[in-house]
Structure 1
Amino acid sequence: MTTLLVIILCASPDTVREIMLAAHELGMATSGEYVFINIDVSTGSHAEKPWVRANETNQEENEKAKEAYRALKTISLRRFVSTEVTLVLNNFTVSYSIQGM
C-alpha cells in the first residue's frame, strides 16, 4: 500500500515559495510521497510563474523552486465582479454614506 502525505498551505506567495524550497531541500517535493495544496487568497501576484523571483540573482534557486512547485497544486479564489454587483456595491456605499451623515 502506498502512502501519500498531503500538506495544506495558506500563506503569502513568498512564504509558499520558501516552504517549497525547504521541501525541495528535504527531498519532500521530489520524492513523490508528498502533495502540497496551496489555498491562494492573494490578488494573484506571481500567478503565471509563482516560483520565479525576477530580482533573484540566483537562477539556480528559481530552478529548484520550479522543480518543487511540480508537487504543489494551488486553489485560487475566483474574483468575479459583474456590472450588476458593482452597481449594488456603489448604491450601498452611497446609501450608507448619506445615512451616516
Structure 2
Amino acid sequence: MDDPKGAAVQPELRDIEGVVKWFDPRKGFGFLVGPQGDDVFVHYSVIEGDGFKVLKDGAYVTFDAAMSGGRWKATRCARSERVPEITVVVKKPETSRAGKNP
C-alpha cells in the first residue's frame, strides 16, 4: 500500500487478543501468538503497567503491532483479565484381565 505522498504504509494491528508463546525475563523479550497463529515479537519496553515488566507463558494479552522488516513487532502490550481455559482429562484406570474368566 502507498499513501498519497508515495511512502509505503506498513500494516498495523490494533487491540488484538493473543497469548504469550514465551517470554524470557532475563533477556527482556519473547513472542506472542496472534489470532491467525503468527508470531509477534514483544520487548519489555512496550509492556504496560508498573513494576517489573514480564509476561507469563500462556497468559492472555491485548496488543498493538506493526510490520517491521517483514515480521510483526508489538508496539503496545497489556495483560488481559481473561482467564485461560483449562481442559481436564480424566483417564480411567486400566484393569488387568489376567487370571479372570470371561
Task: State whether TM-score is above 0.5.
Answer: no
Q: Larger % of helix: which?
A: 1
TM-score by length of 2: 0.27
State which structure, 1 or 2, has the greater radius of gyration over its C-alpha atoms. Answer: 2
Q: Larger % of strand: which?
A: 2
